[in-house]
A and B are shown apart, each in its own frame.
Chain A
């Protein structure tokens, strides 16, 4: 049995395209990410795309007996100095804005949760071309 702490560890990027409370994608990605970090792997990028951007809404308010996946992700990412990146095109069309975009489009509010950043698909392209492994977490359609 190889000792996982000394074997070569590939760098991972995770792409989440399924929304919370609609799909299992953010939850499965969270478990996978946590395990990668616990076993000493490097996370190059966590990228939210398509419906996956809903994870980054500060307004998600699940009932108290359900898991708050936005908070869970904020805690995991914060603990490991990871900033999950939200695709700007996916985010804007689904009503997920940071302060800058809210000002730019003259919207009355911003709702990007703390600890998340908004950027373009270029971040994903960079991950696809440089990460050892890119794993996708889709909604079950």
Chain B
């Protein structure tokens, strides 16, 4: 058995906010961990950085504006939010939310976490 109290988990969201439900269900996983007081952080990379694009309006395609769910991440207890700098540049997301820390998501970054979960 592992020591549950020392684990910090990183949930990786690499699918876009619309057109694919994997990102939403990954976010549910992160919120669920937080609800059970497990240290959890989020990383947006690849197409997932589009979650951080400002000015989203899901109503025009009859969907919830999922970035609002993301706004509640800290309140739900997600400790840190990261975004891969190369992905931000690739998708032209120039100013993600201030609470999101741009990082180089390389092997060294992943070693900061006990587990990396890519739902």
Interface positions of A (Cβ within 8 A of B):
11, 17, 49-50, 89-90, 120-122, 124-126, 128-130, 132, 134, 136, 138, 141
Contacts and interface: CB of A to CB of B under 8 A. Distances in A.
Nearest to A126: B36
Interface residues of B, number: 20
B32 A124 contact: yes
Contacts of A129: 2, 4, 7, 36, 38
Given A17-B119, A130-B2, A141-B22, A121 B32 contact: yes
A49 B115 contact: no
Interface of B: 1-2, 4, 7, 9, 15, 20-22, 25, 28-29, 32-33, 36, 38, 115, 117-119
A49 B4 contact: no
Contact of A132 (B1, B9, B28): B1
B11 to A, nearest CB: 11
